[in-house]
Amino acid sequence: MKKEKEFYTDIIESFDDVIGKFGTKFRQFPDLVNRKFVDSNILTTLGQYVTFLDHDRDAKIALLLEKNDDLKTVYLRLNEHLGEETFVGDWYTVEQSSVDQFAKVTGDQQWIHTSPDRAKKESPYRTTIAHGFLTLALIPFLTDSVDPEKNIYPEARMVVNYGLNSVVFPSPIKIGKRIRARARVTKLMPMKRGLEVVREIKIEIENSTRPACIAETVVRLYFS
């Protein structure tokens, strides 16, 4: 009984990861515990606790939404297409001049980015390539997030870049290639007079099966 309680406590120590931890532990049950434990009442109790947490979370979200009409409007609009691709941007050509400007500002003057002649001779790509961080820096532009005429959150008083949960660069962008952004909202988290929006952004390279970048971006919207 003591071991069962310790296991139960470990699983529910945090609401945010209770589902993930439970799933991992459950998949490991055949190697970790015997059938008697699997058939015990602790799994039923855990399921009831998770259900309670889900209801409690939903109640808190509903309470926050009812306190601000603009927050509610944006949340319901985005939540309707949660997980779906809702944006595909225009193609943008990556020029050597843009790479050179980025290199000058950041101090990253590596020849693989700035020396076409040397890259043609020594680089495996036979041409210069864009900085990974340049690709990342282009995300607001590629997703129309900085275009005042295409404001995707018109109800918000202020939009703040809160950071990145993750970012990878699976494939380099050769100079002269065209890229575009594809986006989907993956998570919404209402706050007091605000909404945290997590989006997965993929930077697609024309005629390539591998994306140049996959980033999980986080912005916070604030309402009056």
Task: Indicate the SS3 state at residue 44.
Answer: helix
Asked if 190 and 71 count as a contact pair (C-beta separation under 8 A), the reply is yes
pLDDT of residue 128: 98
Residue 107 in domain: no
- Would you say 200 and 214 are in contact if contact means Cβ atoms under 8 Å apart? yes
Same-domain check for residues 87 and 35: no
Distance in angstroms (rounded) separating the CA atoms of residues 129 and 174: 4
pLDDT digits (tens, 9 = 90+) for 201-215: 999 999 999 999 999
Question: Which pair of tokens denotes residue 55?
Answer: 């209801």
- The winner for highest mean pLDDT among 2-6, 31-35, 48-52, 92-96 is 92-96
Does residue 121 lie within any of the structural domains? Answer: no
Residue type, 157: R
Indicate if 78 and 160 belong to the same structural domain.
yes
User: Same domain for 84 and 181?
Assistant: yes
Would you mind telling me the total number of residues written for the chain in this entry? 224
Residue 213, in any domain of the structure: yes
Is 80 exceeded by the pLDDT of residue 74?
yes
Residues 62 and 76 occupy one common structural domain: no
- pLDDT in the model for residue 214: 98
Buried b (16+ CB within 10 A) or exposed e, 31-49: eeeeeeeeeeebeeebeeb
How does DSSP classify residue 7?
A: H
Query: What are residue 216's DSSP bridge partners?
Result: 166, 200
Whether residues 21 and 78 share a domain: the answer is: no
Tell me whether residue 120 is in a domain: no
Judge whether 36 lies within some domain.
yes
Per the structure, the complete domain to which residue 19 belongs is given by 2-66
CATH number at residue 218: 3.10.129.10
CB 105 within 8 A of CB 99: no
Residues 76 and 15 in one domain: no
Q: Is the same domain home to 159 and 198?
A: yes
7 with 84, same domain? no
**Cα distance from N-terminal residue to C-terminal residue, the chain:** 52
pTM, rounded to two decimals:
0.73
User: Domain for residue 128, yes or no?
Assistant: no
Residue identified by tokens 């979200």 is 61
Q: Same domain, yes or no, for 78 and 162?
A: yes
Indicate if 172 and 81 belong to the same structural domain.
yes
Please check whether residues 152 and 199 belong to one and the same domain. Answer: yes
Cα distances from 218 to residues 141, 147, 161, 184, in angstroms, run 16, 18, 6, 12
Q: Is 70 exceeded by the pLDDT of residue 30? A: no
* Contact yes or no for 200/139 (Cβ under 8 A): no
More reliable by pLDDT, 148 or 44: 148
Residue 87 belongs to some domain of the structure: yes
Question: Residue 97 pairs with which residues in a beta bridge?
Answer: none
Is 46 in the same domain as 143? Answer: no
More confident residue, 221 or 68: 221
Query: What is the number of domains present in the chain?
Result: 2
> Does residue 110 sit within a domain?
no
